[in-house]
Amino acid sequence: MVSRPLINLKTSIKIESASFIEPILLLGGGEWNFSSMNPWRIVHDRKVVVSSDNTNANESLASIVGLEIKSIEMINNHYVEDLRLLFSNNRWMQIFSMCDIEHWTINLPDGTTIVHS
């Protein structure tokens, strides 16, 4: 597995809201937002903390509100590229590319928009 930065964040971005109403994950802050219809999970010390498969996924996302995203990376798993967000508490959110119709979009504070489909 090879990772590479998707973008070089000049400053970290603060998570002010987080929700999951299946199948849509929404993260956001004052001048940025992220949305995805892909499966996801939050990992810490190689253990899954919560995932989109959990029945309490929406409630569990409250634990990332107030954190900052320190880096945004693409992970190459030989066939597809998945997205990985590093939070300020050293946990990762992994977004899995599953099929052609599922995608994610991020709008950054500098006006950059990145769409993966």
Q: Is the pTM of this model over 0.85?
A: yes
Query: For 14-25, what is each residue's pLDDT tens digit?
Result: 999 999 999 999
Kindly give the parts of the chain with pLDDT less than 70. Answer: 1-8, 10, 77-79, 99-102, 117
DSSP 66-77: T-EEEEEEEEE-
Query: For 62-78, what is each residue's pLDDT tens digit?
Result: 999 999 999 988 887 66
